[in-house]
Structure 1
C-alpha cells in the first residue's frame, strides 16, 4: 500500500492461490494493508446502482478524474475512516463473484522511469478498487479494464493488483507511467509477494496466462531496458535489486514459501526466489491466515523470539504494528456467488486479531465496522481489536498465550458457524438469502468482538498487579 501524502510510504504483503492448489477447490487472494499503527479502516457494502445521469469519479488524493459506467454492481470494501486523502477501499467482492485487492506497492527502476515517468494525476491505489470492482464480471476482465485506464491516463505509482473469481487468479503489475503486465497464477500453484515487482518471464504468445499493455516489447527494445540477451523477465527489466529488497522485501517471500514448502532450502535475502511455487500440501484458509499473521516464528528473526537483538530487527516481518486490516478473499466452487464468496477480515494487526468470515452476499455490515476515527473509540471494531493488541504488547511473554487461546477457540466456533450457515443458505434465495447471510455474518462479527472485549477485560485485570509501584508488604509488621 502507498498511503496518502501526510503519512508517506508504507507497504503490504500479498498471497494468491489457484483452485487446484487449495484443499476445497477455492481460489484465494489475500493481503495485509500496512500504513500506520493508528489509522482506522471501515467495512462497508455499496449497493447495486443504476444512474440516468453521467457519473464522474474525482480523487481527493491527486485529482485523478474518470467517467464511470451508468451501472455499478454491489460490492464490499474497506475504506479508510476519512476520505480527506482518498478512499483507499483496498479490497472486496462484487455481486458477480469477482474479488479484488489493491494494492501491493512496488518500485520501478530509474532507467524505466526515465523512459516513461509516473503520472502525478494518474490513477493510484486509493482509487483502483472504487473505479474497477463495480464494473467487472470476471478476474480476467478486471485486468483488462484497469489496464485500459492505465494506458489512457497513466498511473501515479508502481503497484501490484490481485484479482480472482471462482476459476482464475490473476496478479497484475504496473511499472513506470503506462506499462503493465498480468500473469494468471497456475491453478495448482501459489505466490507470495512483498513490495517488489514479482512477475518474471513473460510468454507473449500465451495470452491465456499473460496479459500486457500493447507495445510492451517495443517500449523495452526502443529504450534499451532489457539487461538479458534472451527472454523477457519483467522483474529484471522494470524492478529494483537493492539492499531494501534484501532486508525489507525478500525475507517475507522467503518465510511465506518456507511455511508452504518447508523442504525447500532458500536464503532470506535471496534475489532469486521464484514468483510461483507449488505447495507441498493443499492449502487451507488457515494456512493463508498463518502466513499473513506471521513474524518469522521459529527463526532467530522473530521480533518476540529467542534471537539476539540484531537478529530480531534484521528483517521486516509480514505482520507488524502498522497493519490496518488483513483480508483473505475466498471464492468457493459450485455455489451461488452470494454464498461462494467469503471475505475473511481481520481488523488491525493480523497476529493479534481474528479473521471474521463475511459472506459476499450481505446487504450491510455491523455498525461497529463503520465506526472509528483517528482517536480511540470503544464502539469501533477496529479499535476493539487494536486495544486488545496494545494490551498484549505491554507484556507479550505473559499475555501471548492468552491471546492465542482466544484466537484458537473463537476461530473454531466461527468455522462451525460457517458450516451450519452454508447448509441453511442453500435453501434460501432472493431477499431471504440476503437477510440470512447478513444476519449470520453479523453474528460472527459479534462473536469476535465479544471475545476480544473479554480478553481486554481479563488483561486489564491482570495488569493491575504489574505496576512498578508494587511493594511486597510484610504482613507481620
Structure 2
C-alpha cells in the first residue's frame, strides 16, 4: 500500500547548508509511567501530510521460512528500495503498536542539506514497521533500528522517533551520512520517570551524557563525524546533536518548536513559558528536552494536549482577520507568503487540517499485552477526530478504518477518513458555531469509551486467564464494533450539520430557521474595507418651506349709502 506523504512546502529561505524546510508534518509527545495518573506510558502521533490517506494498518504475526526476503518499500512514495532478509518470527502490529505494546511514532526534521541522499535502502517508515515486527521493548527497537541502518544503510533525512513500551519512553534522533555514505548518525535518550517530552519537526537532543548507557545510547561516531566535517570543534561534553545536525532557525522555532512549547505550557503552567522563543524575539530561551509534571495526566488529558490552536496565547489562530467571522483556527497553505515586498507566516498548530491519522498509545505494564495496550486511533484533524480504542491484541481492523477501502484520490462513504473530512470541512466554514456540535458528539463517544474501559478489560482479563485467544477475539469484536459505531454516528452528524446550517441559516431545536448576524467585529472589518460602497445614504431631512408672505390687511370698507332721490 502506497502511503504518500507530500512533505515539502514553499517557505522562507533557510541559512546556507540546511535543507529546504519540510512540511512540518508531524507532532509527537511522550509521557512516562510516573507522570500518568494510572501508571500508563503514553506516546502520541499526528501524521500530517496533504496527500496522506488515513487508515489503520494491520499486519498479522508470521513465521517465515528460512531464507525468506522482505521487500523494502519507501513509506513516503511507494518506491521499491531493495530487499533484506526476513526475521524468522515477526509480531502482529495494529497501527503503530505491536502485540507486546511497543509503540513507535516520528516527526521529520530533515537536517543539513549535505547529509541528504545517503547510500542505503531503509527509509524511516520501514524502520518503524520493521522494528515493530521484530522488537518487544523500546531498547530492543533502538537496537533493531540502528543495526538495520548500519547494515543496509539509511535512505531518509533527519528523523525524531518516539519509542515506548509499558515501562520506558525514549527519543531517538537519526540522520544519514550524506550522498554515497552508508549508515547513520544517531543518539537516543530515555525520559526520566515522571517527565513529559515532545518533538515536532525540529531536532531536540542537544548535549547528552557520554557515559550513561542506562539512559543514553549513541552512534560511536556521532561526534567524530561532525569533527571530520568541520561542524564541531569543541570538547566532547559540549557537543550538541541538534545544534550540529539541525541548527535552529526562525522557521524551526515558529513552525516546529512552537508546538512543543504549546504542549509544555499547558502541561506545566507554572513554568510560565513566554512566547519570546517561538515568535523569534528571543531565540536564546530554548526549551528543555523534557519537563517534570506537577499534576499527573490521564489518557483524556493526553488527548486534550493533542488538540490545540494556541488558544489563549499571542499566537491564537482564532483571533486575527484570517480567522474570518467564525474564528476559524486554520489557514490554507502555503504557510509563508509575501505582500508588497514583505514576508509573513501563518501559524502551524498541533491541530491541522491535513492530518491523515493520529493516535494516543496507552501502554500498561500490569496487564497482559493484548489487553494492556490500547491504540486510541482517529482519522483527520486531531481537534475533530474521535479517538477510538483499538487493543494491541486484535486480529483485524474495523472495515471503515481498514486499508484499501478508499484512497486520497477516491471518495467512499465506507471510509471513515472521508466521512470525518466531510464533517470537518463543513465545520471549517462556520467554526465557532459548528464546533460546538462536533465537540458535543465527540465528547459523548469518547466519554462512553472511557467509561466502559474498566468493564471491557475486566471481562477480557477473565477470559485471558483460561483462554488468551478468546480474550483476543473478544477485544477484536469490541474494537470492530466501536469503529463501526463511530463511523455511523459521524456520518449522521454530518447530515445533521448540513440540515442545521444550510445556506447560512441556523435551525434551532424546535425546527425554526434563524438568521443570526455576523459578529460585530466582522461587520467593522466589512465597514472599514468597503463602507463607502455599502453604506446606506443617510436620509436627508427635507428643508422647511419658506413661510408664505403675510397677506396685507384689507382696509375696512364703510357701507355705501345711496344718495337720496
Provide the TM-score with structure 2 as the length reference: 0.75
**CA shift at 1:122, angstroms?**
3.5
Does 2:253 match 1:246? yes
What is the CA deviation profile of residues 127-169 of structure 1, one whole-angstrom value per residue up to 9, with x for unaligned ones?
A: 2223221001211010111011122313321111121111111
- Distance in 1 (CA, whole Å) between partners of 2:320 and 2:430 is 18
Specify every segment of 5 or more residues in structure 2 that has no aligned partner in the other structure, as ranges.
Answer: 9-21, 178-183, 278-282, 330-344, 507-512, 516-565
Does 2:469 match 1:434? no
- Distance in 2 (CA, whole Å) between partners of 1:308 and 1:266 is 26
CA RMSD, 1 decimal:
2.4
Other-structure match for 1:339:
371
- Distance in 1 (CA, whole Å) between partners of 2:264 and 2:491 is 34
Other-structure match for 2:52:
39
Alignment of 1:347-358 (within 5 A): 347-358=379-390
**CA shift at 1:290, angstroms?**
1.4
**CA shift at 1:315, angstroms?**
2.2
Alignment of 1:51-62 (within 5 A): 51-52=64-65, 53-59=67-73, 60-61=78-79
Q: Work out whether residues 247 and 269 of structure 1, in 8 Å CA contact, stay in contact via their aligned partners in 2.
A: no
Other-structure match for 2:264:
257
What is the CA deviation profile of residues 299-354 of structure 1, one whole-angstrom value per residue up to 9, with x for unaligned ones?
A: 24232x23454997642111101111111111013000000100011111110111
**CA shift at 1:64, angstroms?**
4.1
Alignment of 1:21-420 (within 5 A): 21-36=35-50, 39-52=52-65, 53-59=67-73, 60-61=78-79, 63-77=81-95, 92-101=96-105, 103-110=106-113, 113=114, 117-119=116-118, 121-152=120-151, 153-177=153-177, 178-226=184-232, 228-229=234-235, 230-268=237-275, 270=277, 271=283, 272-303=286-317, 305-309=318-322, 314-370=346-402, 371-374=405-408, 375-420=410-455
**CA shift at 1:438, angstroms?**
0.7
Other-structure match for 1:81:
none
**In 2 relative to 1, CA 120–408 (structure 1 residues): closer, same or farther, beyond 3 Å?**
same
- Distance in 1 (CA, whole Å) between partners of 2:218 and 2:38 is 31
**In 2 relative to 1, CA 408–4 (structure 1 residues): closer, same or farther, beyond 3 Å?**
closer
- Distance in 2 (CA, whole Å) between partners of 1:300 and 1:386 is 28
Does 2:31 match 1:17? yes
Q: Work out whether residues 90 and 133 of structure 2, in 8 Å CA contact, stay in contact via their aligned partners in 1.
A: yes
**In 2 relative to 1, CA 276–328 (structure 1 residues): closer, same or farther, beyond 3 Å?**
same
- Distance in 1 (CA, whole Å) between partners of 2:229 and 2:273 is 34
SS of equivalent to 1:456? helix
Q: Work out whether residues 55 and 70 of structure 1, in 8 Å CA contact, stay in contact via their aligned partners in 2.
A: no
**CA shift at 1:46, angstroms?**
1.5
SS of equivalent to 2:148? helix
**CA shift at 1:4, angstroms?**
4.4
**CA shift at 1:448, angstroms?**
1.9
Provide the TM-score with structure 1 as the length reference: 0.88
What is the CA deviation profile of residues 44-92 of structure 1, one whole-angstrom value per residue up to 9, with x for unaligned ones?
A: 3211111214122232425143222121111112xxxxxxxxxxxxxx2
The number of equivalent residue pairs is 448
SS of equivalent to 1:351? coil
Q: Work out whether residues 17 and 189 of structure 1, in 8 Å CA contact, stay in contact via their aligned partners in 2.
A: yes
- Distance in 2 (CA, whole Å) between partners of 1:6 and 1:324 is 12
Q: Work out whether residues 55 and 357 of structure 2, in 8 Å CA contact, stay in contact via their aligned partners in 1.
A: no
- Distance in 1 (CA, whole Å) between partners of 2:309 and 2:321 is 15
**CA shift at 1:212, angstroms?**
1.1
SS of equivalent to 1:445? helix
Specify every segment of 5 or more residues in structure 1 that has no aligned partner in the other structure, as ranges.
Answer: 78-91, 473-477
**In 2 relative to 1, CA 55–352 (structure 1 residues): closer, same or farther, beyond 3 Å?**
same
